[in-house]
A and B are shown apart, each in its own frame.
Chain A
Amino acid sequence: NAGVTQTPKFRILKIGQSMTLQCTQDMNHNYMYWYRQDPGMGLKLIYYSVGAGITDKGEVPNGYNVSRSTTEDFPLRLELAAPSQTSVYFCASSYLPGDGYEQYFGPGTRLTVT
């Protein structure tokens, strides 16, 4: 199993550009998550999904959109990039939420908006 994979690893965007961060998991997990990590801070939840076709907002959803058309994929879209979106983005998946079922994390995408 590859686990959770994310592409790209690094990206530089200009203000106002758009892009999609890709996330794929091969563990047949129902639950998937997008977090962002800013320097000196913990991870903050952007969006999550409890299964194909179902998504919901997390703590910091503004400026992002997600979709979940398959169990495996959970892309995150930035429509109009802003400097405040410079961050490291982590995708995660889990078999069940909370209750001790750990979340498996991808290696992250480092995004810079200038």
Chain B
Amino acid sequence: AQSVTQLDSHVSVSEGTPVLLRCNYSSSYSPSLFWYVQHPNKGLQLLLKYTSAATLVKGINGFEAEFKKSETSFHLTKPSAHMSDAAEYFCAVSESGGGADGLTFGKGTHLIIQP
């Protein structure tokens, strides 16, 4: 069975400083990995995805993530935080070739941006 652990429930950074949101996964097969962002009272928007191609994945709004199989990690980073980045971030995993049974999500990381 697959699972996702987001290591921090809250992360607070100052505007203009780097962002690091940590995600570890467990999967029996070669996984596909996703980061979604959810702004208050909104649905989820895909930031980026890993699908067994390049291990460093670039997404929207300056975010990127690196797939590290040896560490079973898929941490999300951004060089310089912006106030508009304040939101809830979810890491999710899907087992490739494993069928249609949806994504498994982590519990989320609440990103706070200090002015």
Contact = CB atoms under 8 A, between A and B. Distances in A.
Interface in A83-114: 90, 92, 97-100, 102-103, 105-108
A42 B101 contact: no
23 contacts: A33-B102, A35-B105, A42-B108, A43-B90, A43-B105, A45-B102, A45-B103, A48-B102, A56-B100, A58-B101, A97-B94, A97-B101, A98-B32, A98-B100, A99-B97, A100-B52, A102-B34, A102-B46, A102-B49, A103-B46, A105-B43, A105-B44, A108-B41
Interface residues of B, number: 32
Nearest to A9: B41
Interface residues of A, number: 26
Interface in A40-77: 40-45, 48, 50, 56, 58
B106 A42 contact: yes
Contacts of A43: 44, 90, 103, 105
A5 to B, nearest CB: 10
A105 B34 CA distance: 14
Interface in A1-54: 4, 31, 33, 35, 40-45, 48, 50
Contacts of A41: 107-108
